[in-house]
Amino acid sequence: MRYRTLGRTGIKVSPYGLGALMLGASIGNPDHDDSARIIHKALDAGINLIDTADAYSRGASEEVVGKALKGRRDSVVLATKVSLPMGDDPNHQGASRRWIMTAAENSLRRLRTDHIDLYQIQRPDPATDIEETLSVLSDLIHSGKVRAIGTSTMPASDIVEAHWVAERRGLERFHTEQPPYSILNRGIEREVLPVARRHGMGTLVWGPLGQGMLTGRVRKGRQTDLVRAAMPFMKVFGDERRLDAVEQLISLAEEAGLPMTHLAMAFAIAHPDVTSALIGPRTMEHLDDLLAGFDVTLTDEILDRIDEIVPPGTDIGTLDQAYVPPAIRSSGLRRRPVSERTAA
């Protein structure tokens, strides 16, 4: 395994990281023992980064990871996240000092550890001043409960602002960013990755298999047995533009003699600003398939062909789980009152 340095933290992580979204989850693998076996096999294969979140099955994923790491904790770079809702209470979410202090303790308990190697804000929280968030995260670092801090799906402009605030206020700065990235969604190549590089941040990308569309099991005009495709909130599987691109990529993979999953993963980790790509297996079979692609190298010719199908810096469709900033989500922030919409 060729380990990579996570930004400027000095922490070494594997090019593949194990995402635990589908482990111990009702929508994924509800068998905790089987999920633990998947974790152990990934670790035995050389993967040393595990990424979970408190919101994954309302803490069940963290509990599975915590139990599975008994006796192996010191050899694992353990990452978790905070900010998504953990119940109906409006204060059990977000990036306020009040919630983060509580959420961190809850995660430590579920993970059965005294420290978190990487603690990430899972989604930006426009309702909380970034200085407050950085302040509480700095306190967690100084207390020894957290080693490094990061963001997820944060726009490039917000990353720059956070670094400016950290420098101006003498606070700990974000060490990593975790954005979505795959052959189908390359938008972060335009600003997020260059900004992360400029500020010395490590980058852990999620969704390298395009939320399952790059597994080879999703074809235009055909039924699929992919579990995610049946979820009502997943709209990407009906996007004709994405389906057309997938068909072209399947043909390319066949020409190259590669499974689609290996093509997709090799693409993600080939970018010089991607530290690690997170895989999210639900079964041992899924993990075995991904582990078999460890040594796949894409030639410049193949990468050029991918660029022709999906141009650099572009997205084909929008991910269902992508962050949508308030200015786009709320029509009131982009429309003047009716009485003020005329020039005269």
CA dihedral 224, 226, 228, 229 (to 10 degrees): 0
- CA-nearest of 50, 70, 53 to 62 is 53
The catalytically annotated residue of 56, 119, 181, 323 is 56
- Spacing of C-alpha 339 from chain mean position: 43
The count of other CB atoms within 10 Å of the CB of residue 25 is 18
Contact by Cβ (8 Å): 325, 155 = yes
Decide if 16 is catalytic: no
List residues with catalytic annotation.
Answer: 56
